Chain A
């Protein structure tokens, strides 16, 4: 059934029903603001709580207690007056707070007084030789199948990379009876020393005990190779083997499935297309929106919460969602804000939720050789552009990602740079001895997700359109 938004105007439009979006929409609606929550998935939860209302996995321990926290958030949202539409793809947002959304193949336009973007995170590109071969997947994609369909790998499987999600996925696969032959840990040895000064905050955070027990659980069942410094997939039209170097020793193992993961980065496409100002985050190695303490962006009326505001994890996302919603309530109906938890309290919650994050960011900062490829390794999958192609274009005068488009069409395919943007920025920065901030990023344009010509053609006519138009 296709459900279009009930109104043309809302006080608050929240985009994304992950932890931040669920919390923001519930808070805003509870305070009496007309609230619309638009989400691309078939049900609430985003990535971390994916399929929270529908997962076939019923044994709670298999997905872990943290997963089921999502159920409470969904509960409070459903108890509120927020209007929620799933399978709703927002494809345009601009500084006038006009939102274009595609629902069931038809597009609608709504206008908001406030927009809270909770578009979450994407997996960081992992551009190694062979990463585009069939048989290579991201860990996130594997987790999507696991949560929504209880599908786990049964062929020869290698997981490579680093970061908390890698260990969580490994644990979840094993609990559901899936197969993992080897884990190749790419965490740089020097990261352990760099992270040490931040260890105290981490040891006293909730991440520590949970993370440690998960790693123990996985290591008891799977061979883990640490200190991997080189990694490549190989095969003729299909992944057949993984080649790696660890501790100076090279090894090749036959595999059917390689799951790659080296952390997540903010999904900035919608925010950037609305001209929200971003800056390069040198610790998290990604673009993050420039925000004030309430999550307000450089564009009046647009706030950003959750991992889209900078990676902070699910607990922080929930609090950021509440903070952004409270700020919206304060701005639109100050009287109603008095009934909400005080901002100071929320900020204290956020500080607690973010505790240990610097340690994780430092420890799991991906190594240069896994971020900046060379030679024939594909950078842009949509247009099949290699690292060498990019460097050749730099040599003949391409100064940044936008100029590169003219030479190589990088970032001009359907993914709009989601799979190549960070790589292109860092590769060009290295080649030109500039900082990523100086090199910049693609100018992103709506539609941030493709829509069909037929769907656009069916958009209600404008007034201008009714008048006769003569070619100028």
Chain B
């Protein structure tokens, strides 16, 4: 027998979970479908960066909206998500890079965005005492920080469930179809129907969009991360580099997370990734050069999460350009974690109110289907 609900959300990453929660807050009853378990892939195993810094301009309004939610995350979820706000710092390693930083901050200011702030060598050293002395400055976004991704994604799922969402983990959504004004989805032996379907299936979302007649230029990627044993506390903010692929974060327990976007080979159908140690060695070398204090730390574990990357590196967020009641929320291209809380709130507004105050116009799927509708 088919169960009727208000919305079907496919994908239990932070985006699907956040959307499910915000739909509940708006008084709707969604079903959340996750083929593995909530946070199994990119949402649960990413670097946990809560970053407005260095974002593509089209997604900055969404990032700012999200930041406001992050700062109240404990009230929203009854879970602090281990969110800490010590800022994020973009380090320029030479004058040339600093000039690029200066131009970027000027550009943002001209657009009315003030969250990024140019800093000189003195302020950089004050924020990140351990950084190599040759670095002339950078950019800081002071409200940024980091959270525990698995804890956060799980907290969204749990709160959504407490507010009435039906969560189904461990079985994939199948037989997605539209008939008689309703979206129908099978989950194992169960069947659900709703006027709204949200495609938040991460690395698997491109296939769903294509099957529904909206193919998009998307690839599956698996950015690698590694973590060290505990080392004495030496850094508070998250650090990213202007010129090289590196992000760097020390947790309160002393472990240091090293990332930056080097890619593993994903085997999506098997939920597996094969790491590329030569690229991880590059990250290790960068850390070795920039943070001498880290040289004797040991690498305890490395991994990669599977996710979707759009050709233009910005997500797809908004209604379908072909089907009534279908919404897309995927393709966050290695920087979706911070956006999750805000994107869920915006998605609920689109579904419930038919619009949102947050500027997301450049993120629609219609950018790939200009002639549709």
Interfacial residues, chain A to chain B (CB-CB below 8 A) = 92, 94-96, 98, 100, 109, 275, 396-397, 399-400, 402-403, 405-407, 409, 412-414, 416, 445-447, 450-454, 456-462, 464-465, 469-472
In angstroms, Cα B240 to Cα A469, docked, is 14
By the criterion CB–CB under 8 Å, are B278 and A459 in contact? yes
**Chain A residues with CB under 8 A of B54:** 471
- Chain A residue with Cβ nearest B38: A403
Query: Are B300's CB and A452's CB within 8 A?
Result: no
Bound CA span A405–B240, Å: 26
Within 8 A of A (CB), among B254-307: 260-261, 270, 272, 274-282, 284-285, 287-288, 294-303
- B243 proximity list for chain A (CB < 8 A): 470-471
B229, A406: Cβ atoms closer than 8 Å: no
Whether the Cβ atoms of A406 and B150 lie closer than 8 Å is yes
A96:B37 contact, CB within 8 angstroms: no
CA distance A446 to B284 in the complex (A): 15
CB neighbours of B324 from chain A (8 A): none
CB distance from B45 to the nearest CB of A (A): 9
Assess whether B151 is interfacial by the CB under 8 Å rule: yes
State whether A406 and B282 are in contact (beta carbons under 8 Å apart), knowing that A413-B300, A456-B299 are contacts in the complex: no
- CB pair A95–B274 under 8 Å, yes or no, is yes
The reply to whether A403 and B261 contact each other, CB–CB distance below 8 Å, is no
B281 contacts A416, C-beta separation under 8 Å: no
Q: Is the CB of B301 within 8 A of A416?
A: yes
Q: Are A450 and B274 in contact (CB under 8 A)?
A: no
Chain A residues closer than 8 Å to B276, beta-carbon distance: 462
Measuring CB to CB, which residues of chain B are less than 8 angstroms from any residue of chain A?
A: 37, 39-40, 44, 54, 148, 150-151, 154, 158, 169, 227-229, 240-245, 253, 260-261, 270, 272, 274-282, 284-285, 287-288, 294-303, 313, 334
Inter-subunit contact A459/B298 (CB<8 Å): no
**Of A396, A451, A462, which contacts B282 at CB under 8 A?**
A462
Cβ-defined contact, B282 with A461, below 8 A: yes
Residues of A within 8 A of B301 (CB): 412, 416, 445-447
A94 lies within 8 A of B275 (CB): yes
In angstroms, Cα B151 to Cα A136, docked, is 35
- Knowing that A400-B37, A407-B151 are A-B contacts, what are 8 other residue pairs whose CB atoms are under 8 Å apart, sorted by A's residue number? A94-B274, A100-B277, A405-B150, A451-B299, A453-B299, A460-B278, A462-B279, A472-B261
- Give every chain B residue within 8 A of A472 (Cβ-Cβ): 245, 261, 313, 334
The answer to whether B313 touches A457 (Cβ under 8 A) is no
Alpha-carbon distance A100/B275, docked complex (angstroms): 11
Do the beta carbons of A446 and B281 come within 8 Å of each other?
no
A454 near B302 with CB under 8 A, answer no
Task: Report the separation of the CA atoms of residues A165 and B288 in the bound assembly, to the nearest whole angstrom.
Answer: 45
Known contacts A275-B270, A406-B150, A472-B334; decide if A457 and B284 are in contact (CB<8 Å). yes
Q: What residue of chain A has the Cβ atom nearest to residue B333's Cβ?
A: A472
Please tell me which one of the listed residues B151, B279, B296 contacts residue A452 in the complex, with CB atoms under 8 A apart. Answer: B296
A92 to B224, alpha carbons, bound, how many Å? 15
The B interface, classified by DSSP as helix, strand, loop or mixed, is mixed
Q: How far is the CA of A472 from the CA of B246 in the complex (A)?
A: 11
B300 and A414 contacting across the interface, CB-CB below 8 Å: yes
Given known A-B contacts A446-B275, A472-B334, A453 and B297 have beta carbons under 8 A apart: yes
Contact present for A471 and B244 (CB under 8 Å): yes
Residues of B close to A413: CB separation below 8 A: 300
- With A406-B151, A453-B299, A454-B296 in contact, do A462 and B281 touch (Cβ < 8 Å)? yes
| Nearest Cβ on chain A to B288's Cβ, whole angstroms | 4
User: A344 CB to closest chain B CB, in angstroms?
Assistant: 35
A458-B284 Cα distance, complex, nearest whole Å: 9
Q: How far is the CB of B167 from chain A (nearest CB, A)?
A: 10
Q: A100-B277, A465-B278 are in contact. Are A471 and B297 (CB under 8 A)?
A: no
The answer for the CA separation of A403 and B148 in the assembled complex, in Å, is 12
Complex Cα gap A333–B158 (Å): 56
Query: Measured between alpha carbons, how far is A402 from B36 in the docked complex, in Å?
Result: 12
Question: What are 28 A-B interface contacts by the 8 Å CB criterion?
Answer: A94-B275, A95-B272, A397-B154, A397-B158, A400-B37, A403-B150, A412-B227, A412-B300, A446-B277, A446-B302, A447-B302, A452-B295, A452-B297, A453-B287, A453-B298, A454-B296, A456-B277, A456-B281, A457-B287, A459-B277, A460-B281, A461-B282, A462-B279, A465-B279, A470-B243, A471-B240, A472-B313, A472-B334
Q: Hey, which chain A residues are within 8 Å of B44, CB to CB?
A: 406
Indicate which residue in A396, A457, A470 contacts B288 across the interface (CB closer than 8 Å): A457
- For B148, list chain A residues within 8 Å (CB): 406
A94 contacts across to B, CB distance below 8 A? 274-275
Nearest-Cβ distance from residue B151 to partner chain A, whole angstroms? 5
Top 7 nearest A-B pairs (CB, nearest first) are A406-B150, A462-B278, A459-B281, A450-B298, A456-B284, A457-B288, A457-B284
Partner among A275, A447, A453, A469 whose Cβ is within 8 Å of the Cβ of B295: A453
Q: Are A453 and B261 in contact (CB under 8 A)?
A: no
- B-side contacts of A460, CB under 8 Å: 278, 281
Q: Nearest residue in A to B40 (C-beta to C-beta)? A: A402
Chain A nearest CB from B189 CB (Å) reads: 18
- State the CA gap A96–B242 with chains docked (Å): 33
Whether B261 and A96, one on each chain, are in contact in the complex, defined by CB atoms closer than 8 angstroms, is no
The reply to whether A447 and B300 contact each other, CB–CB distance below 8 Å, is: yes
B303:A406 contact, CB within 8 angstroms: no
* A177 and B279 alpha carbons, distance in the complex (Å): 54
Q: Do residues B154 and A406 form an inter-chain contact, with CB atoms below 8 A?
A: yes
Closest to A397 in B: B158
**What distance in Å separates the Cβ of A268 from its nearest Cβ neighbour in chain B?**
16
Q: Give the distance in Å from the alpha carbon of A471 to the alpha carbon of B92 in the complex.
A: 12
Residue of B nearest to A464 (CB): B279
Q: Report Cα–Cα, A445/B302, bound state, in Å.
A: 6
A441 to chain B, nearest CB (A): 15
Contacts of B277 in A (CB 8 A): 92, 98, 100, 109, 446, 456, 459
CB distance from A413 to the nearest CB of B (A): 7
**Least Cβ distance of A87 to chain B in Å?**
17
Q: Which residues of A contact B302 (CB under 8 A)?
A: 445-447
Nearest Cβ in chain A — how far from B87, in angstroms? Answer: 18
Contact A471 B284, beta carbon cutoff 8 Å: no
User: Which chain A residue has the least Cβ–Cβ distance from B169?
Assistant: A399
Complex CA distance for A454 and B286, rounded to whole angstroms: 11
B299 touches A447 (CB 8 A): yes
B188 → A minimal CB distance (Å)? 16
